[in-house]
Structure 1
Amino acid sequence: MNNTLNTHSLAAAADAKSVERRPALLRPALTLFVVLSAVTGLLYPIATTGVAQLVFPHAANGSLIARDGKAVGSELIGQPFNDPGFFWSRPSATVPMPYNAANSGGSNLGPSNPALAEAVKARIGALRAADPGNTEPVPVDLVTASASGLDPHISRAAADYQVARVARVRGLPAARVHALVEQHTERPVLGFIGEPRVHALKLNLALDGVRGTGQ
């Protein structure tokens, strides 16, 4: 009987101590939660945003491209061009429309997939129809989508392939258009990383600044 009472007494005492210790255990946990929330949720974002706006504001605000004071695009996200008087961008596999920045991704079609073959044939057909006299091989990036579907650049070969068509439609000398392509060619990083490439939107904006008989 005494042993039973002692056991109950010890258990009750242990429970009482446990209840007393709970606030002491919760206090540092709650303090840590509040401090980390303030640091990672407020101070860090404010600090990084402030540094970004101070050091590289153009990139921090989306690397926007403006014309006449109005944003017309971004250096980071491509745009579709279908007019024969412009340099065409790479195809985009994003849905529900091309170059949808909210749904970046490729087609996920393998090289043996008939759907990819049909899409490539259709793109080649469109390029040939826009420039029937061009018998040069079509650069691969003009008929295949990038992995992101948002690539703003085309290869130098893709730009050169389109020079004759753009010059004819705009009534410009091919040499003048070729010079614009050369001016807007971005060289490989450090001279060896990547390939020469051309930003399609920047090139097309430069074209709009040149008057020709087709304008």
Structure 2
Amino acid sequence: MEHMPSWVRQHMAAARAVIVLTLLLGAVYPLAVTGVAQALFHARAGGSPVESGGRVAGSALIGQSFTGGDGAPIGKYFQSRPSAAGKGYDPAASSASNLGPEDVLDVLPVPGATKGRQSLLTRVCARSQAAGRLEGVSGARPYCTPDGVGAVLKVFPAVGAPARAVSVNQACPATPFVTRYQGVTVECGRPGEDYAAGRTVPVRGDAKAVVPADAVTASGSGLDPHISPAYAALQAPRVARTRGLPLAEVQALVRRHTTGRSLGFIGEPGVNVLELNLALDGR
């Protein structure tokens, strides 16, 4: 070794370091952590599986959809919140929609040219209407039109007295949700027309939301297995009616599967949808 060139010794030392660190960090450490996890937290380390009838029905940590082959909600089950992970609750594509509260303008589809794009606001409006129809309540909410899109105007010019106003999310020949804005007749949106130069004006309206927020928005991971107690309470009458059960019995099951805040003050109470639906099936 003493007679080896310095560059050879340096390379050999580097190779030894790579081998040692690979064994320690690539084998010994993962095996040790896995062993401790399996010994102390076996169920959680194994993915927190939930079993039913001798088979794994899912994970307590990952939500899933309770829909039929046509994608429509199955009436006898509590429904999960929306998911932006892949096609819905895909653990390999965990993500949010990356759309924020200022995403209120749709791209109207142009036949043969563009498919269009729904804004976050319009998605919320559409989901609220769908949930309202399913539960037999009003799906109306602030900043939404009666036909389920974002209630947003583009006003021209951007500064000064309005000379033109367009309900940009309502494609012609739709009737605009308001007829006039500050003395100007409101037009319907024309697909393909550029409204970028106008001032964006969301219109709140006087609707009061009955459908809870978690029924119309996806979680940050897209995998949240819980819904709020408010959303569960909204669904309970429909589930009880479909299953022919007393409402009080379904409500008691909801309370039994409601978890409180972590450490008493972190987060919000939640209802695990999978565990609740399995409890309904197994009663």
> Do Structure 1 and Structure 2 share a fold, with TM-score over 0.5?
yes
Matched, 1:126 2:130: yes
- 2:258 touches 2:270 (CA, 8 Å); kept in 1? yes
Deviations along 1:112-148, one digit per CA (max 9) or x if unpaired, are: 3242222122212222222225788111100111111
TM-score by length of 2: 0.64
Matched, 1:88 2:79: yes
Matched, 1:54 2:39: yes
Task: Provide the C-alpha distance between the structure 2 equivalents of 1:174 and 1:134, rounded to a whole number of angstroms.
Answer: 20
**Residue 21 and residue 206 in structure 1: after superposition, are their counterparts in 2 closer, same or farther (change >3 A)?**
same
Which residue in 2 is equivalent to 1:8? none
2:25 match: secondary structure: helix
Which residue in 1 is equivalent to 2:170? none
Matched, 1:159 2:232: yes
Which residue in 2 is equivalent to 1:174? 247
2:5 match: secondary structure: helix
- Residue identity matched to 1:101: P
Task: Provide the C-alpha distance between the structure 2 equivalents of 1:169 and 1:25, rounded to a whole number of angstroms.
Answer: 74
Percentage of matched positions with identical amino acids: 48
Which residue in 1 is equivalent to 2:280? 207
- Match runs of 1:1-215 below 5 Å: 20-81=5-66, 82-95=73-86, 97-112=87-102, 113-114=104-105, 115-132=119-136, 137-210=210-283
Which residue in 2 is equivalent to 1:12? none
CA displacement at 1:18 relative to structure 2: 9.2
CA displacement at 1:209 relative to structure 2: 1.7
Task: Provide the C-alpha distance between the structure 1 equivalents of 2:13 and 2:124, rounded to a whole number of angstroms.
Answer: 62
- Residue identity matched to 1:168: R
CA displacement at 1:19 relative to structure 2: 6.0
2:30 match: secondary structure: helix
Deviations along 1:37-72, one digit per CA (max 9) or x if unpaired, are: 111111111111111111111111111111122111
Unpaired stretches in structure 2, ≥5 consecutive residues: 67-72, 106-118, 140-208
Task: Provide the C-alpha distance between the structure 2 equivalents of 1:56 and 1:162, rounded to a whole number of angstroms.
Answer: 33
Task: Provide the C-alpha distance between the structure 1 equivalents of 2:5 and 2:85, rounded to a whole number of angstroms.
Answer: 59
RMSD: 1.9
CA displacement at 1:164 relative to structure 2: 0.8
Task: Provide the C-alpha distance between the structure 1 equivalents of 2:77 and 2:138, rounded to a whole number of angstroms.
Answer: 16
CA displacement at 1:23 relative to structure 2: 3.2
CA displacement at 1:93 relative to structure 2: 1.4
Deviations along 1:151-180, one digit per CA (max 9) or x if unpaired, are: 000011111111111111111111000000
TM-score by length of 1: 0.83
CA displacement at 1:74 relative to structure 2: 0.6
Unpaired stretches in structure 1, ≥5 consecutive residues: 1-16, 211-215
**Residue 134 and residue 168 in structure 1: after superposition, are their counterparts in 2 closer, same or farther (change >3 A)?**
farther
**Residue 133 and residue 142 in structure 1: after superposition, are their counterparts in 2 closer, same or farther (change >3 A)?**
closer
Between structures 1 and 2, the one with greater strand share: 2
- Residue identity matched to 1:55: L
Task: Provide the C-alpha distance between the structure 2 equivalents of 1:185 and 1:48, rounded to a whole number of angstroms.
Answer: 31
- 2:129 touches 2:138 (CA, 8 Å); kept in 1? no
